[in-house]
Structure 1
């Protein structure tokens, strides 16, 4: 295989579990909860981790191992852990690293459930946090405390598509001895590789673009060995394990990720360009749209702009609600990354638990609509949006 960052697709297709005696071409499904030992001594050695192998599918399984290996190869990570959902990946990656009295510095623009972990769950355990504004990088250093242990980032952000300069942020973290955890869900390992810029841990909701077809729930954590080893003890005993079946689905889906993302990105850019010319739209955010305030940064650290477009409809919530209710083809759902285009109103759904002030701080306005652009013909997507805007 050629040694090139452009061979991500080949890695996703040709990374495969060793064939069984059946000589299968496609990896089979290993639907088993446990594995047998050759002897009592073999069992002892396995639990003592003196020999490698599978013990129990909560610990490891050939299907989850293949999925992890593929993502590690694509993200240029050393090792990883597959989890039952994207949020279990977020929670486990942070909880396994933090102790009572620790502090997290996080970008303010985060997914709604990530906010809830920081401001509702961790404080009960004596873990504090501060938010850093993406548009005020000059303030980040002053927010680092003596007990800050983790820098938690999401780029592009959900739903506002704000970007963080990964090279700059990771350098800042290293200068202060912080562990950098990056949620790379919107970009996928095909479009962005945070570890190239110094990240320690990368997480994904595999439910989104990695699956790509709205079928399965799952997550993954990959990164440097020394941190993944720390997390493995936590996840083995707290149990957020990915099922072999879902791991098998995700691993197969990765084989088409580059092809799908190319189409998602192409469609999303065309939709963003269309929306920029609509009188009913105040503004449009898409990383590879030249009007995006961080367009040059997007071109630097992303291969393409991703499959999500955010825009604000004039008239606030009532006008946005009318738009959503008049869509004919595009689905209304809280998911994203599907073959089918999906529209969401973040202020009343995914980020509804935030206060008005918290939403305003990250530009989640009453008129904001997020469209996860699917793989339909772009002419049909635009026609549906055009009709709903004009109704």
Structure 2
């Protein structure tokens, strides 16, 4: 019987009953570049920290356990993880990608991957005909669910069936929900991506990225590429993420509870024209989320009536911070037009629903009364 996810955030079964590392409950930071050997062919199991490091290995085992993968790869950022993953493809390969991706992913695909000979077709994977876009050279489907920032929800199991029927990899960016709320590999995906900077770390104090897979061929390719390219996560940053993961469940539950209350509060505000949160029953992805996830997450997006009001909100918040990123204990509000999606062409942004009136919120763990009090004051001051 598989242990609960909160337990797996704290313990690896393989280490139970052991007192390695002098019994330290906090896994040590092995801050070393290289390792000594007793003789030729007598390795300690580690040779050079670009190849592997005990602290990184511990973190990778924890993340693999949380996602139900056979292996995980800890990288220096979420974008480093996606960049590394793209190396399993070759010039001429075609990838079907979600149209409403994080802007950094689109920037990478359009400016680096295309330069390297890859071809992309962007679709709204929650509603468009994915199967109809498959070509002879198609190798993968790449999705976020919910998407960033418009919170579109794709049916992972359904897309996995299509991918398997055509021999494609299904890649799912699971950053918004974290492994606490959603496990794409168990729904048929082959590869999961995380920006570990976000909910896994949870404290806005380090950058990290992860690739998790249950495919042995992908595992073998990535182990070779990561040691070759050298983008593995540094030991201290691995320790910070390990520390953050210990409270993942508590943080996700509290942030989600706050997010649901804020989403419902926003619905009642005259200046708010639309609230995008999959935990609202009217959201088109609500039933799919109930089927494939254990929660709705702490991310929400909303549109106000005018650009002037959007800018005034950003300038008026105080406890809530106007900042990029997401997934930390602090509540952040972001302006996709000039921040996360600034490099996405305007016509694409508008087609996806991202307008100058769109604001994205990463809800933290502050007392809900304080969050609503600040929002009430900010909205009352709108002119």
- TM-score, reference length from structure 2: 0.95
2:314 maps to: 324
Contact persistence 1:324–1:388 (CA under 8 A) = no
2:244 to 250, 253, 260: 253
Equivalents in 2 of 1:160, 1:241: separation in Å? 31
> Are 2:165 and 1:175 aligned?
yes
2:353 maps to: 363
Identify which range, 213-222 or 26-35, moves more after superposition: 26-35
Contact persistence 1:183–1:202 (CA under 8 A) = yes
Equivalents in 1 of 2:63, 2:241: separation in Å? 10
2:143 maps to: 153
1:344 to 330, 334, 338: 334
How far does residue 25 in structure 1 lie from its aligned partner after superposition? 2.7
Equivalents in 2 of 1:220, 1:36: separation in Å? 28
How far does residue 174 in structure 1 lie from its aligned partner after superposition? 0.6
> Are 2:242 and 1:243 aligned?
no
Equivalents in 2 of 1:270, 1:124: separation in Å? 45
1:66 maps to: 58
How far does residue 338 in structure 1 lie from its aligned partner after superposition? 1.1
Contact persistence 2:126–2:153 (CA under 8 A) = no
Q: How many residues align?
A: 377
Equivalents in 1 of 2:21, 2:32: separation in Å? 18
1:279 to 260, 270, 281: 270
Contact persistence 1:105–1:131 (CA under 8 A) = yes
Equivalents in 1 of 2:238, 2:75: separation in Å? 9
Q: Aligned pair in 2 of structure 1 residues 135, 188: CA closer, same or farther (>3 Å)?
A: closer
- 5+ unaligned residues in a row in structure 2: which ranges? none
Q: Deviations over 1:162-213 (max 9, x none)?
A: 1110000111111111011110000100000001111001110110011111
2:6 maps to: 9
- Give secondary structure in 1 for the equivalent of 2:283: coil
> Are 2:85 and 1:88 aligned?
no
Equivalents in 2 of 1:255, 1:218: separation in Å? 16
- Give secondary structure in 2 for the equivalent of 1:348: coil
Contact persistence 1:170–1:199 (CA under 8 A) = yes
How far does residue 20 in structure 1 lie from its aligned partner after superposition? 3.1
Q: How do 1:121-160 and structure 2 match up within 5 A?
A: 121-137=112-128, 139-160=129-150
Q: Aligned pair in 2 of structure 1 residues 21, 121: CA closer, same or farther (>3 Å)?
A: closer
How far does residue 135 in structure 1 lie from its aligned partner after superposition? 4.5
Contact persistence 2:314–2:333 (CA under 8 A) = yes
How far does residue 250 in structure 1 lie from its aligned partner after superposition? 0.7
1:48 maps to: none
Equivalents in 1 of 2:372, 2:364: separation in Å? 12
Q: CA RMSD in A?
A: 1.4
How far does residue 230 in structure 1 lie from its aligned partner after superposition? 0.5
Q: Deviations over 1:268-327 (max 9, x none)?
A: 000001001111100101111112111111111111111111000111x22200111111
2:25 maps to: 25
> Are 2:197 and 1:214 aligned?
no
2:188 maps to: 198
- TM-score, reference length from structure 1: 0.94
- 5+ unaligned residues in a row in structure 1: which ranges? 44-51
Contact persistence 2:21–2:28 (CA under 8 A) = no
